[in-house]
A and B are shown apart, each in its own frame.
Chain A
Amino acid sequence: MDHDHQELPSDPALRVMALESLLVEKGLVDPAALDALIDTYEHKVGPRNGARVVARAWVDPEYKKRLLTNATAAIAELGYSGRSGDHMVVVENTRERHNLVVCTLCSCYPWAVLGLPPVWYKSAPYRSRAVIDPRSVLREFGLEIGEDVEIRIWDSTSEVRYLVLPERPAGTEHLTEEQLAELVTRDAMIGTGKVTLGGTPT
């Protein structure tokens, strides 16, 4: 395709503005719908959804069982469903096993429970390295995983989306489900982090 001649301005901010005004003039998009979509992903759908799923699994063994056998339905029990969460699989971290989620081909990510992916998840370094050298990747996130631990890397090549169920940290027996959810970080649910008592949610 020839993209050389002038069509839209080269600055993406100007290009998208010109494209939006064209599509609105043609009646193809409703600008208020754009606002609502942006509001959804900025304020409503995000990693707090996934954190509530994780916390519920930590406190409710029956829920955890359902989550690990039919994740889509178990996640829907908490009210989370929809785009990029239609076919969910949850994988559990243990002392012997660490799970890590990637999409080497593009940027597939479980939007319904984690929101939109961070830039690094969509970047060439993460996409290229996670499958071939997971330990060096995890080291850059401050995680040292020994060779005695099995690392399972989930390359999201289909519409199935993966969520990591992190290990519940020791010393949290007294915490409520809500307090536990506060500890769960986005990175822990991708597999590039662990949940710690001092963890600040990302």
Chain B
Amino acid sequence: MNGVYDMGGMHGMGPIAPEPNEPVFHARWEARTLALNLAAGACGKWSIDAGRHSRERIPPAEYLRMSYYEKWLTGLVMLLEETGLVSRAELESGHPAPGAAVAIPSLTVDQVAPTLPRGRSFERPLNRPPRFAVGQQVRARKINPTGHTRLPRYARGSVGVVDRLHGGHVFPDSNAHFQGENPQHLYSVRFSARELWGEAAAARDAVYLDLWESYLEPA
């Protein structure tokens, strides 16, 4: 979707303002929000892509107003309700529905240390060869899907060169909508800054994006 979260190249957002000696969390609720997202995510009801898409669906003005962890909290509540883990009545009352079964947590304290370093691979074997080769010119297709996509607007329609093949990766555009992983070949594509931004950009600079095969066409 052409949402405000897709902000590469926008103007007017102000200075960066890095904070010296920034703490990992600025308040305990931020830490709890992060941990709740990870622990509830371990229930396996949604993918990382669906998680991202929940935050993308926050209305634009709210998205810009909210702090990072407010977005994570809002997205988590959306997913809990949409996947049926929690009902609206429960969110409103703050308590489980009378007679509701009590689940067993998917992530228990003794599982945290062994599971975190294992991570999760998003690479999937593919039995078809990649359509594009390193060094080949490709164009990022002009698409405007109303759902989740990882092709930023600023690159659409631009021509780049395949720099590296990452192998088959889960396709976010379908996975975010619970429509399957549909893995595709993933490419690192180099776009010259002038191709993306025009002649005012520095001649040698380039932006690299990881793009799935269906985002690309020969150029």
Binding site for B on A (CB under 8 A): 1, 3, 6-8, 12-13, 15-23, 25-30, 32-38, 40-42, 45-46, 80-87, 89, 102, 104-107, 112, 115-116, 118-120, 122-132, 134-135, 137, 140-141, 147-160, 187, 192, 202
Contacts and interface: CB of A to CB of B under 8 A. Distances in A.
B118 A29 contact: no
From A13, A33, A122, A127, residue with most partner B Cβ within 10 Å:
A33
Interface string B206-217: 111111100000
B107 to A, nearest CB: 5
A147 B202 contact: yes
Given A1-B78, A123-B16, A28 B103 contact: yes
B99 interface: no
**What bracket does the count of chain B residues touching chain A fall in?**
35 or more
Contacts of A118: 18-19, 22
Interface string B188-219: 10000100110001111111111110000000
A119 B113 contact: no
Contacts of A23: 36, 39-40, 80, 86
A20 B20 CA distance: 31
Contact of A33 (B77, B112, B209): B112
A4 B19 CA distance: 33
Given A15-B73, A23-B86, A86 B39 contact: no
Contact of A87 (B96, B121, B206): B121
A3 B18 CA distance: 32
B121 A155 contact: no
Contacts, number: 279
Interface of B: 5-11, 13-22, 24-29, 31-36, 38-40, 43, 48, 52, 55-57, 64, 67-70, 73-74, 76-78, 80, 85-86, 88, 90-92, 94-96, 100, 102-109, 111-113, 116-123, 150-152, 154, 164, 166, 169-170, 172, 186, 188, 193, 196-197, 201-212
10 contacts: A8-B77, A13-B28, A27-B104, A28-B106, A38-B25, A105-B152, A107-B68, A125-B13, A159-B48, A159-B122
Contacts of B193: 151
A202 B86 CA distance: 40
A125 B14 contact: yes
Please name the 9 residue pairs, one residue from A and one from B, whose CB atoms are nearest each other, closest first.
Answer: A104-B8, A158-B210, A32-B109, A82-B119, A27-B103, A34-B35, A36-B112, A13-B29, A150-B204
Contacts of B90: 22, 26
B119 A112 contact: yes
Contacts of A148: 204
A37 B100 contact: no
Given A22-B95, A35-B109, A129 B13 contact: yes
Contacts of B25: 38, 42
B19 A120 contact: yes
